Amino acid sequence: MIEAGQRPRIRAVSTRSEYALVAFLRSFDWILLAAAAGLVGYGLWVVSGITRFDVPGAENYYVVRQAAAAAMGTVGLVIVALVPLELWRRYWKLVYGATLGLVFVVFVGAETIRGSKRWIDLGVIQFQPSELGKVLFALAGFVVGRVGPRTRWRTIFSVIGLGAAPILLVFMQPDLGTALVYGAALFAVLFFVGVRWRQLAVLLVAAVLAITSVLWLLPSAGVQVLKPYQAARLTLDPGADPSGITYNLSQSITAVGSGGITGRGVIGASQTRLDYLPEHATDFAFASLAEQRGFVGCAILLLLYLLVVWRGLRVVTGASDLYGVVVAGALVVAFLFQVFVNVGMTMGVAPVTGIPLPFVTVGGSSMVSNLVLIGVLQSIHARGDLGRARP
């Protein structure tokens, strides 16, 4: 009698668990997931072309490493998507502390490469903590519940202070490009949480004045904030010093322009194949793509990016609470900012800041962090759908 009374309850619990799992999977944004998968696949194809001659005797060297990073990132995507969003909000202080820890650890354990400390050597791979820190920075959610449409400036400044700490640490590595991405995410947080337009305008003007001071006013007074090479890379005139400071920029513009409509192919792309274009697998991967595959190849990549941004904005509008709105909004803006600046700098319309091109630039840290970003968006979307489905 006891066993007969217990069995139905066990089956009922099991049925409810299975139903919950199925409902959760159905609530995924499968278009967003398909777009991310398309970017991973397309990115690997791009890397196979632009790095084919980089390692003699090992044409697939970078493709294999990039594919391994994609596999690791996929695992991270699944794990993050399954983590309840409430955990991130409840323990935001720990997440914020982890963000600070990640961007600070490079000062202790990183080797200086090309004048900066960004990468931790783990033996098998080199890990760039600030890349994963972009996602944690948004997940910290330290602004939620602190600011709103009627927020006083004192509260806004306290929030900016919290956000500025990791930005300053990244800037001191020095890594100007990643610091700008963090700054874009912080501005997005303030926007999506509901700060008034007037206050946002004042903050934007203050940011422009600060940038102007760093680039011109302070240097004219003898105070150098940026490293000499950083200041030199900010010029947008490719003819300023084509054999020196602006060599990379001028070669990049040449590569983009020579691609035409359909590109010159892997063999015919001399700028990439003969290594006239430096950093063609990292900073200037888009320029190499433009040379090899032309306008058509670039358009496919940009359309995939647009699809991710569109679905990301749908996640923002469908989030179940303010925390989800803020986190999703910060991630989407940070993602879009990276694409805009990287593509722009290859054509001379944005400064050369070393921001990676998502899913294309060779680098495991960038690949993993972008897939984890997709996982967070999936988590917010799924729980938003489930919340609306509840009676």
pLDDT digits (tens, 9 = 90+) for 73-113: 999 999 999 998 889 988 988 999 998 988 888 887 767 76
Residue with tokens 């890990």: 127
pLDDT at 390: 45
| C-alpha–C-alpha distance, residues 102 and 93, integer Å | 14
pLDDT at 84: 86
Q: How far apart are the first and last CA of the chain?
A: 36
Give every residue of the chain whose pLDDT is below 70, as ranges.
Answer: 1-24, 110, 113-115, 122-125, 142, 144-151, 215, 218, 227-244, 385-391
Residues in the chain: 391
| C-alpha–C-alpha distance, residues 384 and 317, integer Å | 10
| C-alpha–C-alpha distance, residues 168 and 355, integer Å | 17
pLDDT at 244: 65
Write down the mean pLDDT value for the chain: 84
pLDDT at 26: 77
Identify the CA nearest to 378 among candidates 306, 314, 305, 303. 314
Tokens of 37: 């998968």
pLDDT at 391: 39
DSSP assignment letter at 120 = E
Identify the CA nearest to 349 among candidates 261, 274, 253, 264. 253
Crossing angle for the helix pair 92-109 and 153-171, to the nearest 10 degrees: 30
| C-alpha–C-alpha distance, residues 231 and 336, integer Å | 24
Residue 2 buriedness (CB in 10 A; 0-12 / 13-18 / 19+): exposed
| C-alpha–C-alpha distance, residues 331 and 139, integer Å | 9
Question: Would you say the pTM of this structure is higher than 0.85?
Answer: yes
pLDDT at 3: 47
Contact 360, 289 (CB under 8 A): yes
Radius of gyration of the CA atoms of the chain, in A: 23
| C-alpha–C-alpha distance, residues 117 and 110, integer Å | 6
DSSP assignment letter at 116 = B
Contact 39, 304 (CB under 8 A): yes
Crossing angle for the helix pair 322-346 and 285-318, to the nearest 10 degrees: 160
pLDDT digits (tens, 9 = 90+) for 44-69: 999 999 999 999 888 899 999 999 99
Contact 285, 248 (CB under 8 A): no
Tokens of 336: 């879009």
Identify the CA nearest to 367 among candidates 150, 9, 43, 15. 43
pLDDT at 286: 96
Phi, psi of 152 (to 5 degrees): -80, 155
| C-alpha–C-alpha distance, residues 153 and 68, integer Å | 46
Contact 362, 47 (CB under 8 A): yes
Residue-by-residue DSSP string for 305-347: HHHHHHHHHHHHHH-SSHHHHHHHHHHHHHHHHHHHHHHHHHT
